[in-house]
Structure 1
């Protein structure tokens, strides 16, 4: 009797221990799975918030640079007492502020005194205020770009200040400053459910969705840092910064941390993730509540306990059947009743889980190890336009794969099925059933069942089409703004050139014609011909001036249909004397002699003459047998491509992006305007210009023009 009793006791004890271990393992697995999903969502949220912050700063980053180079701003710094210059600068700042949406723009002289501002006509005007103590002023007046976040000394409103030194004739005469307000971003954070925090390099929170955390630090602020903050008025009159009431616990995987704190008087446990923004000197912290993680663990524990209970009930039922055959019917009915109740509970839990999956905005797709689709949610079906019945059972290539990216998508699918998909996701273009393109981000993760068996791969698909379109629109707007600024600068210089040179050139023409008339009375045969050449050249110079004016005012331009071969041939004829003088050869390569463009002949010839002049100067140190220039005209995608290739030393890689910038030059006596004007002329003709280094040495400057049918 004792031995069977002891054996049953140990079997029961082992079964209970095994059941507890299984329940605990299931709870831990569910907790880790939910924690992993929440971490991925938090990483996406952090990336989106960081992208928004960088986009807000980059949107206004160019303003101080542009303001510092405006002639009216530089003139005001030279003559700060000139009321008319001050009025024009105030109007310019106010118009620029209204156009860009910046909080304020203003100009400070070397002593920190504000000369002009966009809010000059408001009670809180910056004009007359001194900002010498500001860190951005100290950086800019020493020739560095200033970046500083703090409370306004005049308005008391916080903002990000970006400063640029204003150089006039090589000397720094003042500082151009733009102020960007982040209050709208903070208002958005305050309206959210999950706290978001932005802190500076000293750990002080200056932007937060939780108001009581503002101007508290993640660690004690040193006395030296506190003095620096007070001296520069960064956070108003605050001299003390309390430590945040945070209890931080590191996670074993090193991704983020667990944050225990109080928000609005309530205890909360948050999953937090830090994202450094080194270019701004800030750290962004996004959080997410851990309630769902605890709930997932409790649900898994309950379901596993229910399964174990069912197993135990089955075992007890079998033993009771052996012992009490007479009570079999009653016991079976009771067990069936309990099983029905548990089944209903499981069905309700399954229906609830399915409702949650169907409500997701992120597309979900499960595939077996061979790539066959075994599950899709409604969000994915709406994203691709195919029903679940059309997708389930499909193998690669899937019907929504883009026909132009089949090879790329097949490669990405194979990498995902082999477990080599990028952990941060990859971008994929798909084709909706109705024919339009959808840009997505795809994140892949292993699909493991409750027994730990790998059943396939689960993919999360996020539609980022709207985000891509918004980024493209923003880039297009920035390019248009840069082009307008460039054309305005070149236009002002060209107008000055036209005004200063037109009268001397016309006077030269008049003197030359008078000289020809006098020479005609004498017996000399060579003098009239030489004077004819003077008249022709002076008239051509006058014509160039007129065309430059026409370039400034397109309504006065003389555009016509031109055979490009005539333009190239005439340009070569103009350059023939200089080519002979330098012992250089110009090879003309024309693919289609009948190609035509619409443009101004003189301006296009000036572009070619300028590019060939640059090529000659680049080859002046080369032996005579290497002084060969190729002037080629070929068809290219969407137009006609004209290239000027030399055999000089080429252009350093670090300067390829700067050669077309105004005032950039590598010549000791150059102004840095020739290539910039060439680019403006080509763009005015609807084309584009660029430069590349040749593999064998030398550089090729080429531009494209639209072809006239």
Structure 2
């Protein structure tokens, strides 16, 4: 006891700088008697031990509560994480089904592509069980399912959705035009619950059906939930009524009577988005902590505390105080260093004399100098550029005198490597803990990159403006439903001024307005001012219009864009195409004249041949008349013989008239008259006209016409002109080649032929001349190109123009017998006026080939 008494006055020797509480405690302790000092000295360790035990009990209780809270919080966090994983997986599948629905609405994919994409998705993602295409009436067009699905759940193409929840959700998707999730009830024969997603197919604003995706709830839980959570908890998926759809829940268990504490199951559940309350994710876990009284650690700590607390209480208290102070100091120092090192802004502290007292790591990194090199420096500082010393010294004097700029100021800073960058400095007073100013704190930010970007944006804007102003097209932008002109380039202002009248005139005359008239309030959304009709119904093709005020033909293009302020605007681009239209009109007139001239040239070339052709029927008429006169005078003719001779005379006269009439029609200038024409009749007329030239050149003509040729929509006179020209060219080629009589032949064939899926007739004229040289084949159909000495180079060019005006095609090729050219073939194809009635058994004419000598 005496020892305790001698030690008790220790606080009396405390230094004078102790706090007032310590001085009060020392005074109060010295005022006590020795007995009371001993009593307090004895009771103090006991009170400390009791407080320690109470603290232990409270700590165990708090730890147990904290542990339970952390378990619950961990379950909630893990469940929400698993819910996010399942949600992201559902949203990814939803996006993929929406892509399929969008492609179906745009008709970018057909039934085979749908099956391929459905098979790929189902094979890649195990939670997808089936993908079905359903039209707007509820009829199944196509369906692809995984082999593991039950036969009762397989959907067959051609079936109609049964009444039930699926049909109800189908109607909801039709009305909302949004994807809808549903959890249908299990029917007879269904053992695996499925989650359904119906994505509507919107074809130009109209409901065109849905794409039905069916998910396996069990696979969604298995593959959508992280594996570590499945191993840690009993994860289950429930419906809105709490029925288990997937997973195995834990059965509730009561703790044994001999085991103190609580062993209740920790569980947490959350609805799965975007499905909603019809699909709930739940996790269950057992708490493994022991009760407070049943913890052996509690009794061990209590016993040890009872034996050692009275020896360690004083040392513990002293050590605790020192550790708390040291920890607080370390934490404060670490926090300050971490904050200084993490900021990207350079910090520099100056004292009142302008000497650097502190720089952070960011400042050193910006300038390239170390902290040891900068701290203690006086102006001029090493990071000042040599050319800016006077300016920066004046700035520093303003800082030290308190004349700082609130928004900061821009300076140039030199790195240790010699490079210079732009920086912005902000200056503020540096105040210590006692409220006194000890210097100035400067923050520095590198603005080199923002300045470069700003300059590039300015230059880009200037280039963009120069390009638009220099365009040879009018460009204007105006918001929908407003008379404001947002942008107009130089050419627009020259044509229409600075108002929107020209823009609206172009839009109205070109027909690029949306389906609804933006000028009527009834067609506008009263909240947004936008047309209520779909913008996709606007005309997006180029339109060619004529403006009388300008006297110009303009090609107008339009598109919709979102303006910088978020408004929907329409951009119209008008290009002057007046020279092109004038050139096209002139070319059309020249072509028409050339066709007429070609016919006249052909008429002139055939004049002598026509005279020879007419000589035969006229000679026959003369002979018939002379014979009749002589036999009548002699009285040797009978009435039947007289009638037969007169009929022959009339036939020859009629033939001569037909030859003259056909030549007149052939060269007559008239507009093309397309009508249903018989191919055999056209060939017969052309052969009869070209026969004169063929006989004059001693060339045989062989015809091959397929049976039952369908009619074509064509101008028969023009097509006859093409055939005559080709046959005449073939005869001249044979004559120029000096072929022997056995090889002087021209073959004309007419057969049905399909081109690019379109039925038509193919006309071909093949001669036995020398063919065409490669350089001639390349320029054969060019205007004014001819291989004849007296040719004008318009015949084949006009022939191709005539064929292409009938939506046909024309080509030429050489005929080879090994390396030798044995002739040339000209072929042109004309589409049918209508599908042929019977073309499955088209064969060559059974008659023998007709030969014209």
When normalised by structure 2's length, the TM-score is 0.28
Larger radius of gyration: 2
Structure 1 length as normaliser, TM-score? 0.32
Higher relative contact order (CA 8 A, sep 6+): 1
